[in-house]
Structure formats: structure tokens, C-alpha cells
Amino acid sequence: MTTTTTVSAITDPVQASMLIDSLGGTKRVAALCSVRAPSISQWRRRGIPRPWALFFHAKYPERFDPAGNFVGSDAPLENE
């Protein structure tokens, strides 16, 4: 049986900021996503759009629970 995970936008600004911080901060996430830093700063206030939440879930599954919710991580990211 296959388990399907539903990932939605991260609408809670606190959760969005925690995810951004866990990934290395605004500049690191901007570089990772090939967007400008002000866009990431906006995500901190408005939440992370669903397409980017899906991207982060696929790239960093260890930072999400089986239901697709961000759970954080103290583990630093490997240099990519």
C-alpha cells in the first residue's frame, strides 16, 4: 500500500520563519530557490507558498512529519 503525503502552503509565519532559519536563513534560502532575499523575507510574514513547501518537503523530508507538516531539525544542512 502506498502512503500519500499532502503538503500544503506553510501559512503560519512562525512555522515559515522556523523552516527558513533551519535551512540557513534568508540569504541561504534565497540562493537555494534562485529568488531574491526580499521574497524570502516576505515568506516570513505571509507564509511559504505551496509550490515551495512541496520543494522543501521533497528536498528535506527529514524536516517534515509523515503528514507533511514542518517539524524542524537541529541538524545543520550539508554544504551543497
Residue 23 sits in which domain range? 13-61
Residue 5 φ then ψ, to 5°: -105, 130
For residue 58, with 0-12 CB atoms within 10 Å meaning exposed, 13-18 middle and 19 or more buried, which class applies?
exposed
Q: For residue 70, which of 26, 25, 2, 5 has the smallest C-alpha distance?
A: 5
Residue 38 lies in a domain: yes
Each residue of 27-69: pLDDT tens digit?
Answer: 999 999 999 999 999 999 999 999 999 999 999 999 988 888 8
pLDDT at 70 over 60: yes
Residue 28 lies in a domain: yes
When divided into structural domains, the chain yields a total of 1
Residue 69 lies in a domain: no
Residue 41 lies in a domain: yes
Helices (H) and strands (E) in the chain, counts: 4, 0
Residue 75 lies in a domain: no
